[in-house]
Structure 1
Amino acid sequence: MNYTEVLKMGFSLNWSARDCSSCERSNAKELRDGGFGTVYYGILRDGREVAVKRLYEHNCKRVEQFMNEVDILTRLRHPNLVSLYGCISRTCRELLLVYEYIPNGTVADHLHGDLAKPGALPFPTRMKIAVETGSALAYLHTSDIIHRDVKTNNILLDNNFLVKVADFGLSRLFPTDVTHVSTAPQGTPGYVDPEYHECYQLTEKSDVFSFGVVLIELISSMPAVDITRHRHEINLSNMAMNKIQNHMLHELVDPSLGFESDCTVKNMITDVAELAFQCLQYDKEMRPSMVVVLEALKDIQHKDYIKDKEEINISADDVVLLKNDPVPLSPDSALNWNISTSSTSNGSC
C-alpha cells in the first residue's frame, strides 16, 4: 500500500482513521513517545496487532520524514527489520504509519529501562541481539541505505527476543557513485558519529559508530548518555574507550553477566569490547564495515572458548617443562611459542 492509498484494512483504536484529530482525545494505548511521533497500539479488522505511528506535526519536514520511511520500508525485506503494513492517505490531516506490532519493548527497556532486571538478559541473549541487529544493518548498507539513528530505543524485541530494527524517518538512500553525503547532523546524542557531527559528511561508517555504542550498552547495561556520571563519562562511548584503553574493562561490564566468574563469558565480552573499540574510532576510515563487524560477531558467538582455553593451558605446561630443561630454546622454538600465545590469548582467563 503506497502513500496515496487509504488504509482500507482499517484498525480498531478508540479513534477513527477518518478523523485523525481525535487521536488527542482518545484512550488508545500509547506504546512509546519518540522524537518524531507517538506510537499507539491497534488491531486490524483481520485481527492482526499493529503499532500505529502518529507524526507530531503535519509540516514539510514531517511529510519528508513520513515519505522517506514509507519509501525505504516498502523496498526492504529482512527478518530483523520491522514490517510496514500501510499508511494513511493524503486526505487525512494527520500522518500515520501502520507497522507490525512487536510486543516485548526495546533493548533499552531491558538494559536500563522499565523492563531491566538483574540477570534477566543473560549474555548469550545479548549476543543474539547484537548479531541480529548487525545483520539488519549490514543488509541496509548492502542495499545502499544508512539508518542514521541506530540506538537501543530503535531495536525492538518480540517475545522470543527476536530483533526488529525500527524507525527509518532519518534514514537516507545513499547514492552509489559517491563516497559520502553532506547533510546537517541529525540523530540522538550519545550515538552520533563525532566526525559526522564535525564535518557534516554522512557515510555508512556513521551507523558503525552508533552500533559500537549499542555493543557497549549490551555489555555494560548503561545508557548511552547519563548526566549523573562524571563529566568525562557522561557519554558512554568516551567512558568505554577510556576503560578499554586502560585495561579496566571489568569496571565497565555489568556484574550480573558473570564476567568475573565465567571464563567463557569473560573472553566473549572482551572480544565484543575490542570489536566495539574498533567501531568507536574517531576516524571513520579506521572503523570496520558493518559486514566485517557482523562476521566478527558471528565468530565470537560460535567460537569454542573452552577448547581454546585447554590449548593455552597445554602450551603453558610445556613452557614450565622447557624452563626446567638445561637445553636453551632455539630461535624457531621461541618464535613458535610467541605465535601460539598470540593466537590463543583470547581463549584464556
Structure 2
Amino acid sequence: MPPLLLLLLVPLLFAAANGYPSTCVSATCGDLTIAYPFWLNSSSASSCGYRGLGLACEGNTTLILPAQSHHRYRVADIDYDMRSVFLVDDAEAPFNTTGCQHLHFNFTTDGGLQLTQSDSNITFFYNCKKNASWPFAEELIGCPDYNKSSYVSTADDGYTGEAYEYGCEAAVVAPVLDSHKKGMMDVPRERRYAEVLKGGFELRYSPHSVQCGACERSGGWCGYRQNLAHGGVGFVCYCDGEPTADQCGSGRQYSKKRMTIYTIAGSSMCLLFFAFWLGYKKYKSKGKSKETARIESFLQKNGTVHPKRYTYAQVKRMTRSFAEKLGQGGFGAVYRGDLSDGHQIAVKMLKDFKTDGEDFINELASISRTSHVNVVTLLGFCLEGSKRALIYDYMPNGSLERYAFKDGSQGGNTLGWEKLFEIAVGIARGLEYLHRGCNTRIVHFDIKPHNILLDQNFCPKISDFGLAKLCLNKESVISIGGARGTIGYIAPEVYSKQFGAVSSKSDVYSYGMMVLEMVGARDKNISPNTESSSQYFPQWIYEHLDEYCISASEINGEITEVVRKMIVVGLWCIQLSSADRPTMTKVVEMLEGSTTGLELPPKVLLS
C-alpha cells in the first residue's frame, strides 16, 4: 500500500477509535492548520471551537470576523504554542499607495482575543476642518476631499476625543506591530502607513486553556456547545463522541460494541503503522535523508561562513504566511517580508528538487563568501525538512528583466541611456569581483536580466547563485557535469567542447549577450518591419553601428559615446572563442575609458 494512502487512513482510524465529532477534526486553509479553539465557520462545526473564533476559508485565504467587529481580517498565522494569532486588514483601501489610507472600522476585541504588548496604535482622522494649529498629527497626502484635511497620529492614545473638537468627521484606531511602526519612518511618506498596516498585529487567546488541557490529557477533544438550561454557550469535553463536563473519566465503562471497535481499530492501526514504517524507511533512504544529511554536513564544516539560520515558523511569520508574492521562477517563488526590526526582505522558497541539495549549497557557499555593492547580500536561510528558504534584502525595483523587452508593447519599462550604462558598468564590476576580487573565485553561469536585481536607486545586484561554481584562484579551466545556464545566454563552450574549455570567460559571453539585449530593448527605432527583424541582432548592429548610435541617441555626442561603448563591448564579449573575449577587468576598463581606439572585434566570430 502506498505510504501516502496510509497517511490518509491513519487520521480516519483515530477518529473512529476515539469517537470525536467528524466535523471537529483539524482542518487546513492554504498553509494554515485550523484547530481548537478556532474552527471553520459552518453550522455543523459551531460546537467545535470558541464562538468568537470561527474562521472562513476563501480561495486558500483564512478570514476572521471578530464577534464585536464589523470588518473582516485575514489570518496571517496562528501560533498554537504561544496561543497567538496574527491578523491583517482584509480591505484593499488601507494598502493603496496614494498616502491616504482609508479605514472604516475601529478594531474591537471580546473575551476570546486580546491585543498583546507587541502591538501599538495608529489613529486616522478623516475630513477634518483645516486648522494651522493641529497639534498632534501629520496630514495625510492624496485624500480626495480638497475642502477638508485628513490626518494620522502615531501616538498610542490617539487623542480621539480632541479630534472631534477639530471638526473631524471620523477617527479610526488601527492596531499595528510596534516593531513595524518604529521602522516606518525609513519608508517614503506615500507608502509609510500602508506598509505598517500590511504588517498586521498580534492577538492572544486563552479561552478555557486549563479546561482544554485537562480534557486533552484525559483523551478527550475540546469544543463548545449551547447550554439548554440557560441558553448560553460553554466549554465541553467530548469523550467517545459524547459531551462531558470538563474531562473524560478514568474509570468510565465501555460498551461491548465500543470495545470491539477499539480492538479492531487498534489492530488495524498496528498493521498499517508497520507497513507505513517499512515503506517510509525505504522511501527516505533513497531521497531526502541523504540530501538533508549532505546539506547539514556542509553547514557543519562551514559553520563560521554561512549567515543566520531561521526556522520555517519564523519564515512564515516574516512573510505573513507568504501573503505577498514578488515573483515565480523555475527555482520556486519569492515572497516579500520583514525582519523583527522592520527591515524589508525578499524570501526565496526553493522547490523540492532531487539534486542532492546542490542548488541550495551553491547559493550558500558562494554568496556567503561575497561582500560587494553589486552582489546581493544573503541575510539568512532556512533548512527544515523539505522546506528551504534563502533570505535577501528586498529590491524595490525588481529585476532588470522588466527593462529588457525587445518590444515595448510587451509591457517593458524604458530607462535612459545614462542609467542603462550605469547598470551595465555596475554588473561588470560585480562580475569582476566574483572572478578576481573575493577569496574564492566564483563563476556564476547564469547571468541574465532576470538575475540582476535593482535597488531603490537602480543600483544592480547580481543574484541567484544556484548554478555557480567555486574555484581555486590558480584554476583557469572549470570542470562541470553538463550544460548549465539559460538558452540565449549560454556560452558556446558550456554546451559543446569543440568551442574550447569552460572558464570565467563563459560569464563574459552571457554578460555580452545581456548588454546587447539592453541596447535592443532601449531603442525604439527597431521594429518588426525593419531589416533587423529578420537578421541576428548582433550581426545587424555590427553592420549598422554608426547610423544606429546616431539615431538611438538623437544626435547627442555624449550619449552616442555611451551607446557605442555598450555595443562594442557587447560584441567583444560574445566572441565564439573564449580566448578572444576580454576578461571582466578589461571590460570595466573599456566601459570606463574613452571610445578613442575602441575598435570593433573581428566580424568572423558572429553567427
Q: What TM-score do you get using the length of structure 2 for normalisation?
A: 0.42
Q: Is the 8 A contact 2:395 2:453 kept in 1?
A: yes
CA RMSD of aligned residues (A): 3.2
Q: Which residue of 2 aligns with 1:110?
A: 403
From the superposition, tell whether residues 283 and 186 of structure 1 become closer, same or farther in structure 2 (CA, over 3 Å): same
Q: Which residue of 2 aligns with 1:189?
A: 487
SS in 1 for 2:425: helix
Q: Map of 1:209-228 to 2, 5 A cutoff? A: 209-221=509-521
C-alpha displacement of 1:149: 0.4
Q: Which residue of 2 aligns with 1:292?
A: 586
From the superposition, tell whether residues 5 and 104 of structure 1 become closer, same or farther in structure 2 (CA, over 3 Å): closer
Q: Is the 8 A contact 1:9 1:44 kept in 2?
A: no
Q: Which amino acid aligns with 1:282?
A: L
Q: Which amino acid aligns with 1:134?
A: A
**Aligned residues: percent identity?**
30
Q: Which residue of 2 aligns with 1:162?
A: 459
From the superposition, tell whether residues 250 and 52 of structure 1 become closer, same or farther in structure 2 (CA, over 3 Å): farther
SS in 2 for 1:221: helix
Alignment counterpart, residue 537 of structure 2, candidates 239, 251, 254: 239
Q: Which amino acid aligns with 1:139?
A: Y
Q: Map of 1:86-105 to 2, 5 A cutoff? A: 86-89=380-383, 91-105=384-398
The answer as to 2:339 corresponding to 1:44 is: yes
Q: Is the 8 A contact 2:401 2:450 kept in 1?
A: yes
Q: Map of 1:276-291 to 2, 5 A cutoff? A: 276-291=570-585
Q: What TM-score do you get using the length of structure 1 for normalisation?
A: 0.71
How many residues are aligned here? 280
Bigger Rg, which one: 2
Q: Which amino acid aligns with 2:537?
A: M
C-alpha displacement of 1:260: 3.8
Q: Which residue of 2 aligns with 1:60?
A: 355
Pick 1 or 2: higher relative contact order, CA cutoff 8 A, min separation 6: 1
From the superposition, tell whether residues 168 and 250 of structure 1 become closer, same or farther in structure 2 (CA, over 3 Å): farther
Q: Which amino acid aligns with 2:318?
A: S
Q: Is the 8 A contact 1:9 1:45 kept in 2?
A: no
Residues of 1 paired with 2:574 and 2:427: CA distance? 17
Which structure is higher in strand share?
Answer: 2
Q: Which amino acid aligns with 1:181?
A: I
Where in structure 2 are there 5+ consecutive unaligned residues?
Answer: 1-304, 601-607
Q: Is the 8 A contact 2:352 2:386 kept in 1?
A: no
Residues of 2 paired with 1:286 and 1:157: CA distance? 31
From the superposition, tell whether residues 345 and 166 of structure 1 become closer, same or farther in structure 2 (CA, over 3 Å): closer
Alignment counterpart, residue 320 of structure 2, candidates 11, 14, 19: 14
Residues of 1 paired with 2:469 and 2:324: CA distance? 30
Q: Which residue of 2 aligns with 1:262?
A: 556
C-alpha displacement of 1:3: 7.8
Residues of 1 paired with 2:309 and 2:401: CA distance? 34
Superposed CA deviations along residues 231-273 of structure 1, whole A, max 9, x for unmatched, are x979x9x421x1243235656x796xx4243232223212321
Q: Which residue of 2 aligns with 1:323?
A: none
Q: Which residue of 1 aligns with 2:194?
A: none
Where in structure 1 are there 5+ consecutive unaligned residues?
Answer: 16-25, 304-341
Which structure is higher in helix share?
Answer: 1
C-alpha displacement of 1:57: 1.2
Q: Is the 8 A contact 1:58 1:94 kept in 2?
A: no
SS in 1 for 2:318: coil
Q: Which residue of 2 aligns with 1:307?
A: none
From the superposition, tell whether residues 37 and 150 of structure 1 become closer, same or farther in structure 2 (CA, over 3 Å): same
